[in-house]
Amino acid sequence: MSGFVSFVSSGPGDPELLTLKAVARLQAADAVLFDDLSSGPILAHARPTADLVSVGKRAGRTSPKQAHVSRLLIEYAIAGARVVRLKSGDAGIFGRLEEEIAALRAAGVGYEIIPGVPSACAAAAAAGIPLTRRLTARRVQFVTGHDVTGALPEDLNMVALADPAATTVVFMGKRTFTELAQRLISAGLPATTPALLAEAVSHPGQRLTETTVADLAQRLATETSSVPALILYGSLVRFDAHPRAPLHAP
């Protein structure tokens, strides 16, 4: 067996945010197994002869089972292929990377992990704000907005998530943020805490909405959009503190 798997982090979706190593692995791959958010222009870097296999998972849609994705990786590698497993953002952040690595190790398949621009960093950059702020946001925390059933996880550390001195980024949280906001406010987070809804970050349809935790919770209670999004809240997004650049470059 001479096959090998490269877990390639594609960043938030803008192909210009790919690393040089990510592009090199795509150009050399015999097969690319890609997530939905890693498709589009990014796949233009793959060889014309490469197998392109969609294995993305999206809430509310029929998606490949994790065991099927892992089996495909192993089968391609055993056949001697150079495989790219293309994941959005950074592969190590809520990308189910551990399960696929465990399957490869059990099968004796070699692999590497190529980091990428996390979508949280891209969202903050698009909004023209930092993820940390001296004296007021010394800590950054990432949390998932849903568990394997799609519901808000029951074991969240609400004391930590309600810390007003932290910058909190909620991944995959639009469907559950109304409930999360209620729990945050009950845990002491001011309802007026600034929040940012970052949708389709780095894509042509990118939309950034400045609001508060309470107002965003009210909005998302009735919104049904399936556009992928991140939610940032905390001291970080006090937009009125200093003048800043426009949300969109000219």
pLDDT tens column, 111-164: 999 999 999 999 999 999 999 888 788 899 999 998 888 899 999 999 999 998
> What pLDDT sits at residue 225?
81
Residue 249: the pLDDT is 43
* Rounded percentage of the chain residues whose pLDDT exceeds 70: 91
Give the mean pLDDT of 211-231.
92
Beta bridge partners of 207: 199
Q: Does 236 have pLDDT greater than 90?
A: no
Residue type, 143: V
Q: Do strands 194-199 and 139-144 pair parallel, antiparallel, or not at all (unpaired)? A: unpaired
What's the CATH code, domain 4-114?
A: 3.40.1010.10
User: Two tokens at 78?
Assistant: 């055993």
Which residues are annotated as catalytic? 35, 57, 172
| Domain residue limits, the chain | 4-114, 119-237
227: left (phi over 0), alpha (psi -120 to 50) or beta: beta
167 or 60: which carries more pLDDT confidence?
167
Outline where DSSP puts E strands in the chain: 4-9, 31-34, 51-54, 82-87, 110-114, 139-144, 166-171, 194-199, 207-212, 229-234
CATH among 3.40.50.360, 3.40.50.10260, 3.30.950.10, 3.40.50.2000 for 119-237 = 3.30.950.10
State the pLDDT confidence band at 241, using cuts at 50, 70 and 90. very low
Tokens read off for 135: 């004296």
The band of 1, judged by pLDDT with boundaries at 50, 70 and 90, is: low
d(CA 48, CA 52): 9
pLDDT level of residue 250 (50, 70, 90 thresholds): very low
